[in-house]
A and B are shown apart, each in its own frame.
Chain A
Amino acid sequence: MARFRTLVQTLVAFGTNAYLLFPFGGSVIYQGPLKAVCHPGLNCYSCPGALLSCPVGAFQNFLASIRFRAPGAIPHPGFIVVGYLGFIGTMIGRLPCGWLCPFGFIQDLLHKIPVRKFSLWEPLRWVKYGVLAVLVVILPLWLVDSSGLGLPWFCKLLCPAGTLEGALPLILLKPSLWATLGFYFWNKITILTLLLILMIFISRPFCRMLCPLGAFYSLFTRMTLVHLEFIEGNCVECGACTRKCPTGVKPAQEFDSPECIMCLKCLDACQFRALQFGIRRPPTPEKKRTFSPL
């Protein structure tokens, strides 16, 4: 399962960033019809190779333009992005974080570097909901200029995916951008550097602490159509699932945890079939399921 997940992550990361004409005289970023579709994970649409739009960036820009006052301007609240992300969230919860997000894949790769690992202080999990509320929703709506136009504050202040996939390649491709770089760029470079170092020592720190997309998907984890089911009768409390979990979830204690990215490492780790992944079923009475390896 782990190899299959890595294969899927690799294919999605390269498949959705497959525009390769930028070094050969094509436009600096892809400008085709696929940009009308959002990526299910965090992937900067200013990445020269990106074929799809970033859902978080798109949603902020929709909100930032709601109060724009211009003749004939129609306010777009971003229903298309909310509908798209809400549909994914209700169907599969945070599964895109574990399987489809290119920035999550980068974090997984960096965490493979063999050094001493540390766990994340659990209350930091709540920061991402603040990031979603303040930087993605409130500030783009509230802080507007004289024409009523706001800014995507998460992209501007924090987004490390934008810095890594968008800013760094673009300033290499377009040296004219160097003159315009200021506080916000160096702020983002600092955040990216700190997070890249953290990723080596702590598993998925950005997903667990700061990602607004993960925070949005996690709102649906208790009602997703697919989920991890814990079969208490089979559990011997060996703790193998907890040790393998990249987001620090205790599958035997936290059912449908908002932190679960459905990477299914716990499923591989459990020798006693105490965890099952599948479609959430109605609680109809059935025979008690137990499994003994002996």
Chain B
Amino acid sequence: MGDHSRPFPGKRRALLGGFMPKKAVWLIIIFTLLFILGINSGELNFLLNLGNTICLSCIGVG
């Protein structure tokens, strides 16, 4: 069986695995702001135009 001598072995491993709630929250805020910035700078139209044309690079033309 596993090591029972240490307290809360499972939790300890999860902590070592990199529990970083503050980082996650900050990243979510940053990425949400980036997404909003992208929408408001006209990237949505760029994306729409891009998606509506056939990607010649994907086909391997050239």
Residues in A lying within 8 Å of B, measured CB to CB = 28-29, 31, 33, 35-36, 38, 44-46, 52-53, 57-58, 61-62, 65, 74, 76, 78-84, 86-87, 90-91, 151-153, 155-156, 159, 162-163, 166-167, 170-171, 177, 180-189, 220, 222-225, 227, 229-236, 255-256, 274, 280-286, 288-290
Contacts and interface: CB of A to CB of B under 8 A. Distances in A.
B61 to A, nearest CB: 5
B50 A177 contact: no
Interface in B24-62: 24, 27-28, 30-39, 41-48, 50-52, 54-62
Contacts of B23: 223
B11 A283 contact: yes
A166 B58 contact: yes
B60 A185 contact: yes
A28 B54 contact: yes
A230 B47 contact: no
Contact of B55 (A90, A155, A227): A155
B37 to A, nearest CB: 5
28 contacts: A36-B48, A44-B55, A57-B50, A61-B50, A74-B41, A76-B42, A79-B38, A79-B43, A83-B33, A83-B35, A90-B31, A152-B55, A155-B58, A171-B59, A180-B56, A182-B62, A183-B62, A184-B60, A184-B62, A222-B17, A222-B20, A227-B14, A229-B14, A231-B9, A234-B2, A235-B1, A236-B1, A289-B10
Contacts of B13: 230, 232, 255
Contacts of A52: 51
Interface residues of B, number: 53
Contact of A78 (B11, B32, B38, B51): B38
Contacts, number: 216
A82 B12 CA distance: 33
Contacts of A236: 1-2
Nearest to B21: A282
Contacts of B3: 232-233
Contacts of B62: 156, 180, 182-184
A220 B19 contact: no
A163 B60 contact: yes
Interface of B: 1-4, 7-21, 23-24, 27-28, 30-39, 41-48, 50-52, 54-62
B41 A283 contact: no
B23 to A, nearest CB: 5
Contact of A185 (B7, B8, B61): B61
B21 to A, nearest CB: 7
